[in-house]
Structure 1
Amino acid sequence: MLSHSVYSRSNLYLNQNLVQLKGATASIFVHYWGAKPQHKGNSPHAHSFFEICYVVEGEGVYSHDGVTYPLRAGTLYCSKPESRHYIQSEEGMLLLFLALEPISSESSQTFMRDFEQLCSYPHLFIPNADQTAPMLIWQALLIQASDSSIRYRESLEQLAYSLIISCISLFLHHCRSGDTATSATGSELQGTLKMAKAYIQTNLSNKIVLSDVAQSLHLSERQLSRLIAEELGQSFPSIVKTERIKRAAYLLGYTDIPLKKIAEDTGFESIHYFTQVFTREMGTPPSSFRKKCLNSASVDAWIHKYLEQVATRYQKYKQQDRPD
């Protein structure tokens, strides 16, 4: 851990000098840099930009759109634009953070698509990020920015740009590692289907009916149902169930939220029904799943296996439906 003087001096330099970062792929506006010792929390709020945070020391909780996550040393997480969130800590945490948004007119289409992809994931939360590339770059950046005899500003600009790009890459990799099996249907999930899936993911804690989703997309129920069946080989209830199970698995693996609350957050009418469906789909009860998932890799492996089964069902449907 660095000294408090390093954090304060680097804070001053970064906020005065590294506001707009530009590289070959993207141009990024940084609203603020921060390093706050003894951070005990804040009130629920939302903002229009991304905020990436890293816990250096201490413990607390992070609430994002009604879902609560445990914070410990080594945790990296990101709040998304317009999401309602807050943190709390009884003893206080040493927290690093930076707020940013891409300048779309000066960034590549690929980079902007990556940002859109991040917005579609419900959980930008990595519990064991202490030895990852972004964290090592962040430490190097703070050490150099605190040096009063800085000679080459461009080296700091390159470090700061690399930090942000590597954070985005790490979040994308972490999220996709649990969602790789859906890549078989990736090309089909465009336009209407992509919006339908986004609606489902956003409303998982509520009762989701076909008519509401169709109305939000300005389609008839019959049109949406046929589109889902023809393109994905699934029924509407099957898609909703898949998203509920996937979300529940993430919450079981990455948080300490009680099973009853997870059942509520993922839209199951009772903990008994949640346990029944989860066990049938994942091959193990929720409580056993939590015990077996000792780290993020094991969580992702379980979820990946489940999504592979869903993708396999989709492929079989497409092969059966293919004309000779």
Structure 2
Amino acid sequence: MLIMNILIESTKIKQGNHYLNHKINYVESEKMNLYLHFWGGGTFSQKDFFSKHYQVYYILNGEGTFIFNKQDYPIIPGDLFILKPHAEYKLEDKSNVKMLFFAFEPDSLTESKELMEFFDRIEGVEDFEHLLLNDQFNMGLLWKEILIQSNQQTIFTQEIIEPLACTLIKIIIQNFYQQIIGLKSNDLKNSKVLESNEIIYNAKLFINDNLAKPLKLSEVADYLHVSDRHLSRLFTKHLDVTFTQFVRSEKMNKAAILLATTDLPIKKVAQKVGFDTVHYFSSVFKKVMDIPPGEFRSRLQSD
């Protein structure tokens, strides 16, 4: 196999990424919108890899071994791979590995069922080889050209860079899409449904244990080691409600129980389900239960 090292000075990588991080933060198209959280690259010294977002890496030069799910996967120049959120990887036996990467998060995929399925499938991939593309030298050359042009800093730079960067990202996503969407079901987690049920079950437990807090989707997703988007999709798919609707319902159910079974002042009840003010709590309670909390308690006592 012919190994092609793509050479680019570290200073150009650093300066180019500085420009990209300021100017290229979003990719918008008819089928797909992506937030770009960070552009980076250089010689990697770290051993452990973890991110809350999707990350795409390209190997410029050097070699190493990626470890995922206790399996070893050699990486060489020309390799392009995608890391899924909340997954842990290790890079061992690295020999001056120089890489380029960007971190991203899908946005507004609801109009494209194909892309929704694509990102759902990534969540179920267990073998790193399915997240790896070999011999992607054309991608490396295009990426290098983007960095070189980003160093120019002329009146034409942004006009040149924006379409090039968007084209690079779209081609990369397209190439991974073709590979991952073609996987057979047995290449994905056999326990995908069971795993989804387990995530929902543990999410419910965490929510009910923390009703006194102003729970956020990101907080629960971090606790469960899944992406915000994936957890949100599971709530909609399996419970037919949004995360926010579920949390609000659980808080109001807990409040109703406290109003019915204790003599706690309404202010205390509000605090126990994560509300700072009685006014806001009463407003939400009435919206969900069709009756103000004070009247709810009075009717129970009169009965």
| TM-score category of the 2 structures, normalised to the smaller one | 0.5 to 0.7
1:167 counterpart (165, 168, 172): 172
1:52 counterpart (37, 49, 56): 56
* Aligned position for 1:34: 40
Unaligned runs of 5+ in 2: 1-6, 201-303
Task: Assess if the C-alpha contact under 8 Å between 2:53 and 2:85 holds in 1.
Answer: yes
* Aligned position for 2:147: 142
For 1:4, the aligned partner's letter is S
Q: How does 1:1-324 map to 2 (within 5 A)?
A: 1-37=7-43, 39-43=44-48, 45-104=49-108, 108-122=112-126, 123-131=130-138, 134-175=139-180, 179=183, 182=184, 198-200=188-190
Offset, 1:28: 0.9
Offset, 1:69: 0.9
For 1:158, the aligned partner's letter is P
Offset, 1:173: 2.2
Size of the aligned set, in residue pairs, is 191
Task: Assess if the C-alpha contact under 8 Å between 1:64 and 1:79 holds in 2.
Answer: no
Offset, 1:106: 7.7
TM-score by length of 1: 0.51
Offset, 1:121: 3.2
Task: Assess if the C-alpha contact under 8 Å between 1:14 and 1:145 holds in 2.
Answer: yes
State the Cα deviation string for residues 33-53 of structure 1 (Å, max 9, x = none): 01112x13333x532211111
**For structure 1, which segment, 2-11 or 27-36, has the greater mean C-alpha deviation from structure 2 after superposition?**
2-11
For 1:62, the aligned partner's letter is F
Offset, 1:94: 0.9
Offset, 1:143: 1.8
TM-score by length of 2: 0.54
State the Cα deviation string for residues 159-208 of structure 1 (Å, max 9, x = none): 2221111111112223456x4xx5xxxxxxxxxxx7x98542679xxxxx
Residue 21 to residue 106, structure 1, CA distance change in 2 (3 Å): farther
For 2:18, the aligned partner's letter is L
Identity of aligned residues (%): 22
Looking at CA atoms only, which structure, 1 or 2, has the larger radius of gyration? 2
Unaligned runs of 5+ in 1: 183-193, 204-211, 219-324
Residue 199 to residue 119, structure 1, CA distance change in 2 (3 Å): closer
Q: Secondary structure of 1:11's match? A: helix
State the Cα deviation string for residues 121-141 of structure 1 (Å, max 9, x = none): 33201232224xx33332221
In 1: Cα distance, 2:41 partner to 2:153 partner:
18
In 1: Cα distance, 2:131 partner to 2:56 partner:
9
**For structure 1, which segment, 103-112 or 117-126, has the greater mean C-alpha deviation from structure 2 after superposition?**
103-112
In 1: Cα distance, 2:47 partner to 2:98 partner:
14
Task: Assess if the C-alpha contact under 8 Å between 1:36 and 1:94 holds in 2.
Answer: yes
State the Cα deviation string for residues 215-272 of structure 1 (Å, max 9, x = none): 8699xxxxxxxxxxxxxxxxxxxxxxxxxxxxxxxxxxxxxxxxxxxxxxxxxxxxxx
Residue 86 to residue 197, structure 1, CA distance change in 2 (3 Å): closer
Task: Assess if the C-alpha contact under 8 Å between 1:137 and 1:162 holds in 2.
Answer: no
Task: Assess if the C-alpha contact under 8 Å between 1:118 and 1:172 holds in 2.
Answer: no
For 1:113, the aligned partner's letter is E
